[in-house]
């Protein structure tokens, strides 16, 4: 026998189910009047510094169907690469947003500031990116991934560098579709499957 490590174990995940909107964005789900407004409606407020960008896309299942029920959370740094709560962070950037696929088209839209490059503990620098967390019925544990921008320099990014099959890097790059607008699809399974993270 040995000593006990005395550690607890993380509570297991369960699917968010089809009604996650009731709990997380009730007004969107039509449950009005409990909260004044949904949490995380926008990651920025007026006066946020930096370039405002609009990102649209869909979450596709393994059959190629744009899911109508996905909910996504995003977490990002401000234009200078600082996260809310860090010293010097832009007070008008909460960095957190909740958004859902449209119930008819399956398309989502995220309007935010383009984040700056982010410094790591070890001094390495990550290319500008937005962390995404996707939940829906049929997803038994929330899926982490990242959105990078194709028009930024992503060559030195430590996470992208770890992707062995280089063509899969493309699954994490938002495509520029115009000035300040990008397109980013998430594919849960199959051809063009998005790189998901255990991080």
Partner 1 sequence: MSDQKPLMPRRREVHPLPYWPDYKTSVARSPSLPLLSMESTTSEETGPRFGHSTLGPLDNNLIENYTQGAAKAVGERVRLHGRVMDETGRPVAGTLVEIWQANAGGRYRHIKDTYFAPLDPNFGGCGRTITDDAGYYEFMTIRPGAYPWPNRANDWRPMHVHFSIFGPTFGQRLITQCYFQGDPLIDLCPIAATIRDRSQLDRLVAALDMQNSRGMDYLAYKFDIVLRGRRQTMFENRPEGM
Q: Return residues touching Fe ion (CB under 5 A).
A: 17
CA distance 56 to 53: 10
Closer Cβ to partner 1, 89 or 176, answer by number: 89
Q: Report d(CA 18, CA 128) in Å as an integer.
A: 32
- The answer to whether the beta carbons of residues 136 and 67 sit under 8 Å apart is yes
- Confirm or reject binding of residue 40 to partner 1 (CB under 8 A): yes
Place of tokens 């960095």: 95
- Is 72 a binding residue for partner 1 by CB under 8 A? The answer is no
Is 41 a binding residue for partner 1 by CB under 8 A? The answer is no
Q: Residue 118 interacts with partner 1 (CB under 8 A)?
A: yes
Distance CA 172, CA 165 (A): 13
Under rule CB under 8 A, residue 28 binds partner 1: no
Q: Does 152 bind partner 1 (CB under 8 A)?
A: no
Please tell me the total number of residues recorded for the chain in this structure. Answer: 199
Stretch binding partner 1 (CB under 8 A), from 7-15, 47-55, 147-155, 175-183 = 7-15
Strand partners, 182: 55, 176
When asked if residue 23 is in the footprint of partner 1 (CB under 8 A), the reply is: yes
Which of Fe ion, partner 1, none does residue 158 bind (CB under 5 to 8 Å by kind)?
partner 1
Binding of partner 1 at residue 84 (CB under 8 A)?
Answer: yes
């Amino acid at each position: 026998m040995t000593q006990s490590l005395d550690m607890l174990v993380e509570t297991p995940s369960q699917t968010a189910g089809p009604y996650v909107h009731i709990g997380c964005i009730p007004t969107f789900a039509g449950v009005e009047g409990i909260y004044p407004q949904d949490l995380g409606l926008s990651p920025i407020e007026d006066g946020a510094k930096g370039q405002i960008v609009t990102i649209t896309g869909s979450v596709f299942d393994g059959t190629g169907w744009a899911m109508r029920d996905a909910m996504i959370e995003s977490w990002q740094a401000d234009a200078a690469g600082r996260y809310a709560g860090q010293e010097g962070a832009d007070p008008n950037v909460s960095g957190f947003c909740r958004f859902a696929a449209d119930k008819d088209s399956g398309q989502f839209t995220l309007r935010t500031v383009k984040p700056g490059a982010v410094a790591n503990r070890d001094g390495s620098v990550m290319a500008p990116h937005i962390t995404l967390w996707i939940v829906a019925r049929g997803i038994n544990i929330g899926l982490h991934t990242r959105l990078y921008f194709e028009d930024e320099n992503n060559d030195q990014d430590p996470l992208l560098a770890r992707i062995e099959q280089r063509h899969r890097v493309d699954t994490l790059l938002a495509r520029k579709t115009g000035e300040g607008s990008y397109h980013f699809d998430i594919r849960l399974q199959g051809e063009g499957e998005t790189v998901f993270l255990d991080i």
